[in-house]
């Protein structure tokens, strides 16, 4: 049975297809699927996440969903989510525990015919409850590799057959309890692991629950009453209220909304009634975009994961070789089994992806959208912060505070054709009728020009003001000020307390820039920078050995965001800036920069501690098992609990809060 993909996203001549995959038991399973899909010449790249159970395939038009489905099934796995997986593992574990309990009792209190009772009870455990391990091993062998299933199948089958031989030929003791308890403990571990992985993806589930169920269309005017969920993205056209955006931004205080303010679908209206005009709904809504971003992030790979996957891919065959050598030296089949079982690299495969899932999910619920494992790692290494000024450290809503000369009407007439934030301030200040403008030109970083009544005017920078010129003659000046965000000073202080160097990058003249920087507590100022030169300034800092995070919101910030080691885009910024940023902040609060970096560092720490634990577990467990100091069934329990411990350690990230806000 085939299932439709999660989504197909066109990219020029290539497509990105996302698939849910069930039946994976370890990181080696993910590698098997990747290798199988890569065999097709139309596939450019493929990434399979064991933790999130998703595959992301970049391919050309020759590769269809049906073809990808057949490739996955050929590898021995299924397309689609197994919604009953948790219940199935629980059921199998309970049955295994019931069948294995008499065998465990017999280890301590022998009773008549215990060997034959062991055969009767262990057989269904071995071949019914454990059949998935055989099918998994067969899938791996068909792809000329080994996986966790291979180790479990080899280990338990060895103990079972050895017991059969000893039972029928009276050659020695039987170990039916070993094979049965091994499978039962592994099933316990898979049950607990699946349960924990489900908790790791709770962020996605919470966001999906926010999605409105009411169908809307762009341009539609909708009345929202107190207590109702806003059914789509839009702009308020009448009325006012306070909106609860906590599940999207992490901010508990409701946000005031008035006429012309934006509202987000899925948020809750708290007090007043208002009408809004729908601007986006369904798959095009802000909430849907956030869900897609988080899904992509949780299915992504961090650079450190490549190292872990390489180890996992060679670990299993090395362990089998070590187990054989151990058997040759000791002559003990049970020691052979213990070595094989204790060495399962499942914990190693879960170490990175589970931490990424929890970290990115926790960020999303706090208004911090991290676009995957790579920006997460980069964020943890940042030592220099570069802020754009307008719309980032300031409100981005300039206002006219001083006018020298009768120039406002002409300046407003020119600015009517501009999209710069200053334009709206000047237009708002003007009360006269606007004049016709011809041959209008926008000169990025300098100003604008046009012809009014057959006279050519230029309106742009003049020292720390804006000046209107005609034939290079100054006709007058206008002072436009942009209020500093209330939280900007606190944000700068937080970042400096974290040991980071803070810069301000702006096109303002040096005098104006220094004045603003002084009020913010910023000592590093890069002023009088043309939009196209911002990226070059970031490059200069990088060449000096700094790891730079650039924070911006405008179209002209996009090249600098892309050049920086890490781009952080403000949520209210342009789509171009948000696309270029590795992290997107849902709110305009610059304090979230500190929170984002703090979360990134803690997530990467969890990844490294998970990897350390997984490696130490194997490095210590294998020698202990090889010396015959560890029973196979205890090795199985330890192996199962190691995976659970790694996932549980990742889940501790759910305790993270924006502590830096009050630092």
The pLDDT tens digits of the residues spanning 26-66 come to 667 887 888 888 888 888 888 887 767 888 888 988 888 88
Q: Residues 158, 51: contact at Cβ < 8 Å?
A: no
Q: Does 87 have pLDDT greater than 70?
A: yes
Query: What integer pLDDT is reported at residue 121 of this predicted model?
Result: 93
pLDDT of amino acid 492? 94
Q: What is the mean pLDDT of residues 553-558?
A: 73
pLDDT the model gives residue 48: 83
Is the pLDDT reported for residue 457 higher than 90?
A: yes
Extract the tokens encoding 156: 């338990």
Range in 42-51, 271-280, 313-322, 366-375 with the lowest mean pLDDT: 313-322
Residues 6+ apart with CB under 8 A from 168: none
* Residue 655 DSSP label: G
CA atoms of 602 and 607, how far apart (whole Å):
9
Average pLDDT estimate for 448-466: 87
Mean pLDDT for 321-330 is 88
Q: Which two tokens stand for residue 206?
A: 């919470």
The per-residue pLDDT for range 565-596, each reduced to its tens digit, is 998 888 765 565 556 678 888 888 899 999 99
Which of the residue ranges 29-33, 168-172, 295-299, 651-655 would you say has the lowest mean pLDDT? 295-299
* 565 and 592 Cβ atoms separated by less than 8 Å: no
Residues 233-241: what's their mean pLDDT? 92
Asked whether residue 641 carries a pLDDT value surpassing 80, the answer given is: no
Continuous H helices in 170-285: 176-200, 202-209, 246-249
Question: What share of the chain in percent tops pLDDT 70?
Answer: 90
Q: Is the pLDDT of residue 663 over 60?
A: no
Q: What is the pLDDT of residue 485?
A: 87
The predicted-structure confidence for 333-374, as pLDDT tens digits, reads as follows: 888 888 887 877 677 777 787 888 888 888 888 888 888 788
The dihedral region occupied by 569, where left means phi > 0, alpha psi between -120 and 50, and beta the remainder, is beta
In this prediction, residue 299 carries a pLDDT of 65
The reported pLDDT for the residue numbered 615 is 82
Q: Is the pLDDT of residue 144 over 50?
A: yes
Candidate from 247-256, 372-381, 400-409, 436-445 with smallest mean pLDDT:
247-256
Ranges of beta strands (E only) in 380-426 are 384-388, 399-404
Name the most confidently modeled range: 8-22, 85-99, 285-299: 85-99
Structure token digits, residue 204: 């996605």
Tokens of 387: 């802020």
What percent of the chain has a predicted confidence (pLDDT) above 90?
21
Q: What confidence score (pLDDT) does residue 503 get?
A: 95
The answer to whether residue 197 scores a pLDDT higher than 70 is no
Q: What is the mean pLDDT of residues 374-400?
A: 87
| Residues contacting 376, CB < 8 A, separation 6+ | 302, 356, 359, 360, 370, 600, 603, 604
* Beta carbons of 421 and 507 less than 8 angstroms apart: no
**Measured CA distances, 614 to 195, 227, 347, 352, 354 (Å):** 20, 48, 6, 11, 13
For residue range 475-511, list pLDDT tens digits in order: 999 888 888 888 899 999 999 999 999 999 988 778 8
Q: Which residue has the tokens 């098997």?
A: 32
- pLDDT score of 8 more than 50: no
The mean pLDDT value of the chain amounts to 83
Task: Average the pLDDT over 393-402 and give the result.
Answer: 83
What is the DSSP code (8-state) at residue 368? E
Q: Which residue is it, tokens 């303010």? A: 261
pTM for this prediction:
0.72
pLDDT at position 220: 93
Place of tokens 């006709």: 475
Q: Residue 7 — pLDDT band, cuts 50, 70, 90?
A: very low
Q: Which of 84-88, 132-136, 636-640 has the lowest mean pLDDT?
A: 636-640
Asked whether residue 179 carries a pLDDT value surpassing 90, the answer given is no
CA distance 141 to 28: 12
Closest CA to 339 of 144, 159, 185, 192: 159
Residue pair 399/515 in contact (Cβ under 8 Å)? The answer is no
N-to-C CA span, the chain: 54
Specify the higher pLDDT residue, 465 or 386. Answer: 386
Catalytic residue among 244, 388, 565, 589, which? Answer: 388
388 catalytic residue (yes or no):
yes
Q: Does position 5 have pLDDT exceeding 60, yes or no?
A: no
> Which pLDDT value is given to residue 499?
93
């Amino acid at each position: 049975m085939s299932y439709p993909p999660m989504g197909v996203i066109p990219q020029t001549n290539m497509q990105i297809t996302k698939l849910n995959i069930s039946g994976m038991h370890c990181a080696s399973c993910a590698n098997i699927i990747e290798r199988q899909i890569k065999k097709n010449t139309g596939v450019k790249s493929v990434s399979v996440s064991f933790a999130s159970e998703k595959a992301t395939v970049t391919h050309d038009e020759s590769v269809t969903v049906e073809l990808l489905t057949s490739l996955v099934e050929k590898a021995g796995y299924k397309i689609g989510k197994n919604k009953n997986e948790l219940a199935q593992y629980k059921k199998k574990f309970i049955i295994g525990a019931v069948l294995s309990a008499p065998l465990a009792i017999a280890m301590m209190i022998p009773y008549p015919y215990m060997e034959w009772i062991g055969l009767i009870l262990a057989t269904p455990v071995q071949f019914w409850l454990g059949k998935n391990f055989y099918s998994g091993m067969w899938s791996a062998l068909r792809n000329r590799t080994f996986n966790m299933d291979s180790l479990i199948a080899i280990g338990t089958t060895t103990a079972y057959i050895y017991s059969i031989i000893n039972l029928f030929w009276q050659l020695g003791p039987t170990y039916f309890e070993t094979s049965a308890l091994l499978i039962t403990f592994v099933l316990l571990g898979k049950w607990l692991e699946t349960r924990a992985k489900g908790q790791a993806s709770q962020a996605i589930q919470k966001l999906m629950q926010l999605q409105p169920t009411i169908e809307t269309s762009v341009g539609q005017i909708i009345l929202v009453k107190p207590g109702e969920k806003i059914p789509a993205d839009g702009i308020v056209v009448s009325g006012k209220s306070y909106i609860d955006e906590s599940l999207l931004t992490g901010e508990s205080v409701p946000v005031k909304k008035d006429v012309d303010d934006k509202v987000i679908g899925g948020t809750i209206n708290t007090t007043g009634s208002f009408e809004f005009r729908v601007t986006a709904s369904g798959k095009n809504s802000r909430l849907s975009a956030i869900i897609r971003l988080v899904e992509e992030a949780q299915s992504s790979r961090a650079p450190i994961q490549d190292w872990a996957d390489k180890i996992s891919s060679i670990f299993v065959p090395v362990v089998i070789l070590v187990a054989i050598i151990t058997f040759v030296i000791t002559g003990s089949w049970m020691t052979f089994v213990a070595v094989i079982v204790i060495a399962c690299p499942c914990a190693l495969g879960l170490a990175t992806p589970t931490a990424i899932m929890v970290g990115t999910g926790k960020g999303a619920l706090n208004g911090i959208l991290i676009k995957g494992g790579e920006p997460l790692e980069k964020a943890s290494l940042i030592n220099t912060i570069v802020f754009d000024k307008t719309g980032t450290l300031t409100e981005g809503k300039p206002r006219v505070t001083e006018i020298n000369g009768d120039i406002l009407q002409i300046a407003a007439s020119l600015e009517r054709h501009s999209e710069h934030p200053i334009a709206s301030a000047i237009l708002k200040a003007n009360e006269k009728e606007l004049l016709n403008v011809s041959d209008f030109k926008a000169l990025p970083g300098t100003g604008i020009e046009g012809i009014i009544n057959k006279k050519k005017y230029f309106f742009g920078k003049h020292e720390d003001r804006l000046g209107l010129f005609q034939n290079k003659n100054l006709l007058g000046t206008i002072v436009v000020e942009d209020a500093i965000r209330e939280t900007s000073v606190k944000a700068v202080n937080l970042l400096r307390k974290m040991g980071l160097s803070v810069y301000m990058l702006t096109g303002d003249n040096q005098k104006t820039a220094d004045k603003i920087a002084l009020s913010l507590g910023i000592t590093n100022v890069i002023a009088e920078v043309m939009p196209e030169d911002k990226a070059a300034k970031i490059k200069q800092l990088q060449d000096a050995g700094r790891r730079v995070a650039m924070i911006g919101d405008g179209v002209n910030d996009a090249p600098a965001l892309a050049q920086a080691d890490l781009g952080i885009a403000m949520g209210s910024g342009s789509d171009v800036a948000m696309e270029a940023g590795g992290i997107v902040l849902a709110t305009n609060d610059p304090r979230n920069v500190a929170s984002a970096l703090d979360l990134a560092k803690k997530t990467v720490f969890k990844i490294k501690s998970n990897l350390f634990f997984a490696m130490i577990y194997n490095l210590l467990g294998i020698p202990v098992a090889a010396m015959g100091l560890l029973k196979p069934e205890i090795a199985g329990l330890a192996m199962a609990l190691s995976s659970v411990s790694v996932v549980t350690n990742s889940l501790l990230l759910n305790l993270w809060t924006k502590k830096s806000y009050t630092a």
